Amino acid sequence: MRPFRFLADVSAIADAAHLAAAAHRAEAAGYHVLVLGDHLLEQLAPIPAMAAIAAVTERVRIGTFVLNNDLRHPAVLAQDLATLDLLSGGRLDIGIGAGWNESEYAAIGLAFDPPGIRVARMAEGISVLKGCFADGPFSFRGTYYTVTGLDGQPKPVQRPHPPFLVGGGGRRVLEIAAREAAIVGLAPRAVSVANRVVTDSLAPAVADRIAWVREVAGARFDELDLNVYPAVGRLTVTAHARREATELAARLANRYGEEVTPDELLESPFVLIGSVAGLAEKLVSLRERFGINSVTVFDADAFAPVVERLAGT
């Protein structure tokens, strides 16, 4: 089994001193990567924030969860990312996605294309990024990007390139992740399939997704990190897990009209509700059952006691 890797989101707006303090706490707790989202919302911009974190830390990695491919040309992004990898001494992870928040597109007049187009464009973007990171000039001609004789500079420290995190809930995105990424992000579907918003987040559906990844990844499957995050409800560290899960089930039933049991929710990889010991036990179980070894959380301080128990194991 692969060792646990814990990612903590540090996107919240903060000045340099508060960001550095948060980074130091997370590094001391054993978090593996500090990540930022990529939205035109109330958050720090990921590229400069990663540079600031790298400058005040020594071991913890920096990354994104995740970059929106549509917001930057991949060749321009490649220079930013290679610079970050160089300045951090090879501590960069690259999480990238196809974009999903339609309101952000509308706010800046950017066309929100159908999912298939956005995913295809992301796949081309990954190819351009890897081409820029490779030695020597390269050319690429796709449907969405054309690059001619570009020798991307600087080159990243990590060769042939920093590890990529790609993920989602749909089969096409997960197949791309299985081919291109070192870290596969498992997520509920962004769009309801047959009105199964909640049940699509339960353990059987996750098993199906992992089977898709295994089929495409082939021999390299055992080298992949499988990542989840608390997509259903919020991270809740509590001694009353069943009560919290019962209340969450009622809220979900009221919102989506789907009946699920507290036990089904507590079993879901996308639900993190429990005591410190209970959450640690659950993560060990998820790794044994599914191979899930990577977890992203959005409250680093609350989850730190769990990380301290499991980091490096």
Written as tens digits, the pLDDT of the chain (313 aa) is 899 999 999 999 999 999 999 999 999 999 999 999 999 999 999 999 999 999 999 999 999 999 999 999 999 999 999 999 999 999 999 999 999 999 999 999 999 999 999 999 999 999 999 999 999 999 999 999 999 999 999 999 999 999 999 999 999 999 999 999 999 999 987 554 445 678 889 999 999 999 999 999 999 999 999 999 999 999 999 999 999 999 999 999 998 888 999 999 999 999 999 999 999 999 999 999 999 999 999 999 999 999 999 999 9
The C-alpha angle 44, 50, 53, rounded to 5 degrees, equals 105
Name 51's Cβ contacts closer than 8 Å, sequence gap at least 6: 84, 87
Closest CA to 169 of 223, 195, 208: 208
Q: How far apart are the first and last CA of the chain?
A: 10
pLDDT at 196: 67
Q: Are 10 and 29 in contact (CB under 8 A)?
A: no
Q: Are 41 and 104 in contact (CB under 8 A)?
A: yes
Domains in the chain (CATH in brackets) are: 5-310 (3.20.20.30)
pTM attached to this predicted model: 0.95
- Reduced 3-state DSSP string for the chain: CCCCEEEEECCCCCCHHHHHHHHHHHHHHCCCEEEECCCCCCCCCHHHHHHHHHHHCCCCEEEECCEEHHHCCHHHHHHHHHHHHHHCCCCECEEEECCCCHHHHHHCCCCCCCHHHHHHHHHHHHHHHHHHHCCCCEEEECCCCEEEEECCCCCCCCCCCCCEEEEECCHHHHHHHHHHCCEEEECCCCCCCCCCCCHHHCHHHHHHHHHHHHHHHHHHHHHCEEEECCCCCCCEECCCHHHHHHHHHHHHHHHHCCCCCHHHHHHCCCCCEECHHHHHHHHHHHHHHHCEEEEEECCHHHHHHHHHHHCCC
Q: Are 10 and 300 in contact (CB under 8 A)?
A: yes
pLDDT at 189: 75
Q: How far is CA 4 from the centre of its chain?
A: 15
pLDDT at 307: 98
Residue position matching structure tokens 């035109």: 40
The C-alpha atoms of residue 305 and residue 275 are separated, in whole angstroms, by: 10
88-106 as b/e: b if 16+ CB within 10 A: beebbbbbbbbbbeeebbe
